[in-house]
Structure 1
Amino acid sequence: MMSQEIKARPDSPGEPSPEPTPAPQTRVNKTVFIGSAVGILAITAWAIVAPGNAEAVIGTLVSWVSVNMGWYYFLVVTLVVIFVLVAALTRVGKVRLGPDHSKPQFSMFTWASMLFAAGIGIDLMFFSVAEPLTQYLAPPQGAGETVEAARQAMVWTLFHYGITGWALYALMGLALGFFAYRHNLPLSIRSALYPIFGKKVEGPIGHTVDIAALLGTIFGIATSLGIGVVQLNYGLTLMFGLPENLAVQIGLIAIAVVMAVVSTVSGVEKGIRRLSELNVLLAGALMLFILIAGKTSFLLDGIIQNTGDVLSQFPGMTMDTFAYDRPDEWLSGWTLFFWAWWIAWAPFVGLFLARISRGRTIRQFVLGVMIVPFTFILLWISIFGNSALDIVMGGNTEFGEVGMNNPERAFYGLLEQYPMAPLIIAIATFTGLLFYVTSADSGALVMANFTSHLKDANSDGPKWLRVFWALVTGALTLAMLSVGGVLTLQNATVVMGLPLSILLLFIMYGLYKALKVESSRMDSYRSSLPGIISSRSGSEARGGRSWRQRLTHVLTYPGRKQAQRFIDEVARPALQEVHDELATQGADVTLTSGSAGPGGVGHVDLTVNLGSERAFKYQVYPVQYDTPSYALKSASTTDKYYRIEVFSLEGSNGYDLLGYTKEQVITDVLDHYETHLEFLHSNRATPGNTAITDDHLASDNWEADFTNTEERS
């Protein structure tokens, strides 16, 4: 909107109007694209040409990480959990990922479906049976095949798939969404470091960060896809007798890449969204079948006990480094692998979550990301894991051995124990394929965004670039499978997660600095509130109107002409007087206007530049709403009416100026200006500038913010 308008300064009417600013276009970030593509293709070629050497090098690196850096992984993920919970549960949790007036674009069900399907996938089917069986038969500590071992097996599985991982996703998504939608920075990893490095993130520092994040991300995705391929291969073996070999897996990768290309090219609102919703519905139906067809009472008991166990033991487990009896091989194969895997997926899933979460508060976002998917995971793992343990504890040790030694067969082995096994296996295979595709298409979309200069935070990378990354991800998955199968992919993920964990520490620090500024802003409103209330109280503040006149205004729903008349006869003259007085006092102040509002109604913007600190902005902007059915009087000839709202850099202040006199508008401007200066004063206790960007503006497209409601979905 505003980026297209022709702005004119009222204090220099003789000057020609400048040309409209050209609309930004999405283009490829050549440095990040070439750097990451060359790196990934080189690793892929190395794995194909010298598989033995690749496997040996990766094995050596993962052993070193396991022995020397295990404590570091535990510390980082614990700090992340604490950080995101503090951000959500303190007062900054009220801050929105966008302007103050913005609303979520997707309904809760659609949002939860998309974040769940993007964050996990077929690997949940893989580990929900295989890990409980493995931890029961060969636990890290104590004797296996006991009641206590069964109980702890479920706790370990839920611990690895639970709160910690989703906290990592929440941190990355929170940082990206906050800086992109509230501070108008690019939706990329580098933006989260802006409070630390400033404009340097636009150069080599930013390119390095984005390349590192993309390298880690593609290995995390490739690991999930590799797990999916071997499991789907076994499912097709059961259904059609196909062999379990690399040739079939190549075919599966090719099919999934084609489906991913079709899905990701159609975009978030169509392909990815619809697949995600279907995905969750099928997974839920499969879970309910096992619950009803199995030992329902036992499984319900297990859900309650597993929930209590994991919540009560979580604080101790999250810092348990096994210092006195360290099972290095178990740690690298389980806890460290999972932490590195979650970290590697964090940029990918975090960016995707930010992409679909504009308008949600920090509290809604963090608690939603940490609670909604984990609730489903808890139910899924409890039902499938306890069902598997019940079979083994009932005497079927062969099933347990197969599940531990051939984990890709564990899930299907469980389904074979139930009625209508062929049908259920077919549904499970199709569900797994959808999980596989939603991971691949979401990954291709996000990696295209990583390697692009997006025209705005709501746009996506070029379609050809999404296709490229879908193909490269398939090639990397194939290369790693040819080297040493799923184990090599797991080991590579542990190694690649290490540099990304360092990036998480910088992101937490950058977000901490930015949220301190938000806290100062809240303090300024609280300090200024008594004066604002006083200035707006009394009959003079109401323009001397009688109560009948005030009631008439409340019951009137103005049309376009009334809104434009108010802008021309009240708002613009009022802001002109303030502008002239500020200019006389020596302030660096500008007044701009345009006619790009809803229905062509104009708007007026007063901006006071304050050097390196955040500028003051008072924007009078028309907002169009549907006329309510209870409206008694309407000056509009359509089903729309107008409010003239005040916008600051953070968004709409949520009240209507229509009916104010010129003097009242001037008073309102001064109230806001005093509040802004109080904010700058409060923030002096926080090191660094209050400005995130030079043209700090949360959103120019105000009208879209008011139409992106929950009902839209």
Structure 2
Amino acid sequence: MAGPTGTDRNEGLETTKEHAVSNDEKISPPLTELNINTTTGGFYNGFSIAVTVPAKIIISVIVVWAIFWPIQSGAILTGLNGFILQNFAAWYTWVVAFFIVVCLALAAWPAAGRLNLGLDDDQPEFTRFSWFSMMFGAGIGVGMLTWAVAEPVTHLGTTPESIMGLTTPGGADNVAMAFKWSFLHWGFSAWACYAVCGLSLAYFSYRRGLPLTIRSGLTPLFGQRLSGPLGHVIDIVAVVATILGVAQTLGFGVDQLVAGLGRIGIGGLADADGAATTTGIVVALLVIMGLSTLSALSGVGKGIKWLSNINMVLSIILLGFLIIFGATWFGFNAMFTGLWHYVVALPQMSVNVFRSDGVEGSEAFLLAQWQGWWPVFYWAWWIAFAPFVGLFLARISRGRTVREFVLGALIVPALMCFVWFSWAGGTAIDLEMNGSANGVIFDAANGDKIFAMTEFMLAPIGDWLAWGMAALIVVLLLTFLVTSADSAVLIVNTINAAGDEGPKSRPHVLFWGVALAMVVAGLLISGGTTAIQTAMVIGALPFSVVMALMAVALLKAIYNDTRREKAGVPSTHDKIEGVTGNDAPAGLSASSN
């Protein structure tokens, strides 16, 4: 709840931290009010200046630094990236494994699973189809169009198994390994990051009436202290991580959009190597951010919902084409073989950390390097993306149970990714391995591989069919990009407005739309997608700590709420009358969250 800080009411009370409760101490209702100062009137009406202004300054500094000092910024970012990959690979690996364990535990926990993400009689706002569509489109859609073909093809050449000599690089015995690692990067681990963040936000906002912002997920650990500087820092970290995480997605999307526009006859936007030129970057971003800003101004229930439904339908059409006319049996075999290897190896892959021996070119060095390029990069990407996707998932999931949310967010989108990778990547691999494609797909740039593959399949039938499929993919790509960008703008403004989901002032929507475009443009111009990847890996690190604390806080809160249910103590904000966690006697409220 935004408003005055209420420091005189809370001063001296031990409500900022929970402590262990003795067996004979009665558990009290939870904290249901978190006071965050917001401005009344003026340009920042309804916003928390302590969050909004520092976040804008940080993002503006990144933009100016990347554009005006590209060589210096590129060198510093590369050095920091190397340091993080060398020293925090294990942290990224293990924290994501922890998120998977938390999700599975909550889904399997009977008392926790039936709790409603809202009041007891709240019903879901969206149908399951729209819910899955928005979840999938915001979470992974853009990257999937790039990497569903490119990643299995790349892994076919190099996997940890091929580095260790267990399989043949580029050989048939490495196909299952290529899909196993692709499934790891885009499967349960990715969606566990989103689910932990989204579940935490939905639980504390809709059950307890706390602001729909990142800091609310830490109230069981820090209580009312989150009303002040500690909470501001957490929300600023979330905003910066969101912008960098979405910038990563848009960076890949810009390259692919330029490649697609070239396929449908709009040339001059890419260089001889297929990379987007500065003109191509500007044109692509103008189109993406122009459409996304218009959609953001219309809100979640209109523009974003309809765009999500459209890209889900187009995705089904494209996927159906690949399943029916692509390598149908090869894709089927790739999915189930890869899925078997993935599920069996998931526990080991989730916790294993390759350690370099420092000898360049050695097996240990190559394994550690590969892990930094792939799993660690992806874990940083999903964590940086989590405040955006998590808050968005929370926004569209009110009224669903904890178990429904976890299983829906963890399994259904992951299965969609498995299907996509199996038939899109499987078709590309089959066409190349049987010799018919003759390098047409393998030699194309990553963003252009899906266009090269569909053109190779359809051109012999008719050029107009190849053009039509390229146009469909371009439209699908645009809807994914616009959905991601406009959702990010709305989410950032929600965090800046202390969790207020209502309409935002147009200048702030426009600012963050422009800022996001400038971050992407600045980093692409200064160092290509590598610069964006580096900035994102760095920005994700502090938020990974926040997310780990959110997971611990969520477990603690749900455990205490199951105790309240047994004791007949209210745990939703509508049932708590007069006695809340922050004005109850100190000895009781310290146990309340």
Pick aligned residue for 2:209 from 184, 188, 203:
184
Deviation per CA, 1:612-638, whole angstroms, max 9, x where unpaired? 6869xxxxxxxxxxxxxxxxxxxxxxx
SS at match of 1:410: helix
Question: Structure 2: how far apart are the matches of 1:354 and 1:208?
Answer: 21
Q: Are 1:484 and 2:509 an aligned pair?
A: no
Is residue 388 of structure 2 the alignment partner of residue 388 of structure 1? no
Counterpart Cα distance in 1 of 2:485 and 2:581:
46
2:246: which partner in 1?
Answer: 221
Alpha-carbon separation, structure 2, partners of 1:389 and 1:125: 16
Structure 1 residues 291, 193: closer, same or farther in 2, change over 3 A?
same
Of residues 652, 673, 689, the one that matches 2:591 is: 689
- For residues 312-350 of structure 1, the C-alpha deviation after alignment (integer angstroms, 9 at most, x for no partner) is 221111112123724333222211110000000001100
CA distance in structure 2 between the partners assigned to 1:472 and 1:171 by the alignment? 27
Alpha-carbon shift at residue 454 of structure 1 (Å): 4.5
Correspondence 1:280-299 to 2 at 5 A: 280-299=312-331
Are the aligned partners of 2:195 and 2:406 in contact in 1 as well (CA < 8 Å)? yes
Kindly provide the CA deviation profile for residues 478-525 of structure 1, in whole angstroms up to 9, marking residues without a partner as x: 001001111111121111111111111211222122112112113325
Q: Aligned pair in 2 of structure 1 residues 608, 229: CA closer, same or farther (>3 Å)?
A: closer
The aligned residue for residue 86 of structure 1 is 105
Contact 1:27 1:462 in 2 (8 A): no
Q: Structure 1: which amino acid aligns with 2:303? A: G
Greater share of strand? 1
Cα distance in 2 for partners of 1:510, 1:463 equals: 35
Q: Distance in 2 between matches of 1:76 and 1:610?
A: 33
Deviation at 1:148, TM superposition (A): 2.2
Once the two structures are superposed, what CA deviation does each residue of 1:647-706 show, in whole Å capped at 9, x if it has no partner? xxxxxxxxxxxxxxxxxxxxxxxxxxxxxxxxx9xx98xx9332x5xxxxxxxxxxxxxx
CA distance in 2, matches of 1:343, 1:505: 10
- Whole-angstrom CA distance in 2 between matches of 1:412 and 1:288: 16
Amino acid of the structure 2 residue aligned with 1:365:
F
Matched, 1:374 2:397: no
Residue 305 of structure 1: CA displacement?
2.1
Say whether 1:493 aligns with 2:536: yes
Q: Aligned pair 1:464/2:507, yes or no?
A: yes
Distance in structure 1 (CA, Å) of the matches to 2:173 and 2:386: 33
5 Å matches for 1:215-294?
215-243=240-268, 244=270, 245-294=277-326
Amino acid at match of 1:262: L
State the match for 1:105 in structure 2: 125
Task: Letter of the 1:434 partner, please give it.
Answer: T
- Structure 2 vs 1, CA of residues 346 and 126 (structure 1 numbering), >3 Å: closer, same or farther? same
1:597-676 equivalences in 2 (<5 Å): 607=577, 609=579
Could you say what secondary structure the match of 2:210 adopts?
coil
Q: Which letter does structure 2 place at the counterpart of 1:30?
A: I
Residues 610 and 117 of structure 1, relative CA distance in 2, 3 Å threshold: closer
Q: 1:83 and 1:610, CA in 2 relative to 1: closer, same or farther beyond 3 A?
A: closer
How many Å separate the matches in 2 of 1:400 and 1:496?
33
Match of 1:125 in 2: 145
Question: What is the identity, as a one-letter code, of the residue corresponding to 1:188?
Answer: T
Matched residue type, 2:314: L
Indicate how the Cα distance of structure 1 residues 461 and 196 shifts in structure 2: closer, same or farther if over 3 A, else same: farther
Between the aligned partners of 1:78 and 1:394, the Cα distance in structure 2 is: 38
In structure 2, relative to structure 1, the CA distance for the partners of 1:489 and 1:397 (3 Å cut) is: farther
Task: Provide the residue aligned with 1:531 in structure 2.
Answer: none
Q: Residue deviations 1:51-91, cap 9 Å, x none?
A: 01111111111111111111111110011110121112102
CA distance in 2, matches of 1:512, 1:130: 38
1:512-560 residue CA offsets vs partner (Å, 9 max, x unmatched): 221121121133259x9xxxxxxxxxxxxxxxxxxxxxxxxxxxxxxxx
Residues 212 and 498, structure 2, Cα contact 8 Å, conserved in 1:
no
- Please point out which of 427, 443, 466 is paired with 1:402: 443
The reply to whether residue 116 of structure 1 matches residue 128 of structure 2 is: no
Q: Distance in 2 between matches of 1:387 and 1:38?
A: 46
Question: Aligned partner of 1:398: which letter?
Answer: G
Distance 2:550 2:579 in 1: 29
The one-letter amino acid of 2:484's match is S
Larger-Rg structure = 1
- Counting only pairs closer than 5 Å after superposition, residues 319-338 of structure 1 correspond to structure 2 as 319-323=351-355, 325-326=364-365, 327-338=367-378
1:276 and 1:229, CA in 2 relative to 1: closer, same or farther beyond 3 A? same
CA 1:611 to 1:201, structure 2 compared with 1: closer, same or farther past 3 Å?
A: closer
Q: Distance between the aligned counterparts of 1:609 and 1:383, measured in 2?
A: 56
Q: Which residue of structure 1 aligns with residue 564 of structure 2? A: 521
Check conservation: 1:263, 1:272, Cα contact below 8 A.
yes
Query: Does the aligned pair in 1 maintain the 2:380–2:536 contact within 8 Å?
Result: yes
Equivalent position amino acid for 1:415 in 2: T
Structure 2: tracts of 5 or more residues without a match: 1-38, 271-276, 357-363, 459-464
Q: Which residue of 2 aligns with 1:340?
A: 380
Cα pair 1:444 1:470 within 8 Å, conserved:
yes
Aligned match of 1:316 in 334, 348, 354?
348
Q: Secondary structure at the match of 2:440?
A: helix
| Gap change, CA 1:417 and 1:184, over 3 Å in 2 | same
C-alpha distance in structure 2 between counterparts of 1:269 and 1:349, whole Å: 16
Contact in 2 for aligned 1:130/1:410 (Cα 8 Å) = yes
Find the partner of 2:403 among 363, 381, 395. Answer: 363
Supply the distance in 1 between the matched residues of 2:584 and 2:182 (Cα, whole angstroms).
Answer: 47
Report what 1:650 is aligned to: none
Distance 1:399 1:137, change over 3 A: farther
> How many angstroms does 1:605 deviate by?
9.5
2:134 maps to a residue whose letter is M
- C-alpha displacement at 1:356, in angstroms? 0.8
Question: Does the alignment pair 1:507 with 2:526?
Answer: no
Q: Which runs of 5+ in 1 are unaligned?
A: 1-23, 529-603, 616-679, 693-713
User: Cα distance, 1:373 vs. partner?
Assistant: 0.9
Deviation, structure 1 residue 378: 1.0
Q: Return the match for 1:429 from 450, 453, 474.
A: 474
SS of residue paired to 2:566:
helix
Residues 1:108 and 1:241: Cα distance change in structure 2 (over 3 Å)? closer
Give the aligned partner of residue 7 of structure 1: none
- Residue identity (%): 32
- Is the contact made by 2:326 and 2:423 (CA closer than 8 Å) also made in structure 1? no
Q: CA deviation at 1:397?
A: 5.1
1:236 shift after superposition: 1.0
| 1:361-402 Cα distance to aligned partner (Å, 9 max, x none) | 110111100011112111111110111111221124523542
Q: 2:485 matched to 1:445?
A: no
Could you tell me whether the CA contact under 8 Å between 2:218 and 2:550 is conserved in 1? yes
Q: CA deviation at 1:221?
A: 0.3
Alpha-carbon distance in 2 for matches of 1:315, 1:94:
27
Q: Within 2, Cα distance between the matches of 1:190 and 1:171?
A: 14
In 2, the alpha carbon distance for the partners of 1:58 and 1:198 equals: 36
Higher relative contact order (CA 8 A, sep 6+): 2
Q: Deviations over 1:166-212 (max 9, x none)?
A: 00100000111111111111000011111111111111001100001
Deviations 1:385-431 (A, max 9, x none): 1111112211245235424xx21221111112212221111111111
- Asked whether the 8 Å contact 1:62–1:495 carries over to 2, the reply is yes
Preserved CA contact (<8 Å) 2:93 2:350: yes
1:5-51 CA deviation, whole Å, 9 max, x = no partner? xxxxxxxxxxxxxxxxxxx9871111111000000000100000110
Question: Corresponding residue for 1:560?
Answer: none
Cα distance in 2 for partners of 1:473, 1:228 equals 13
CA distance in 1, matches of 2:184, 2:72: 34
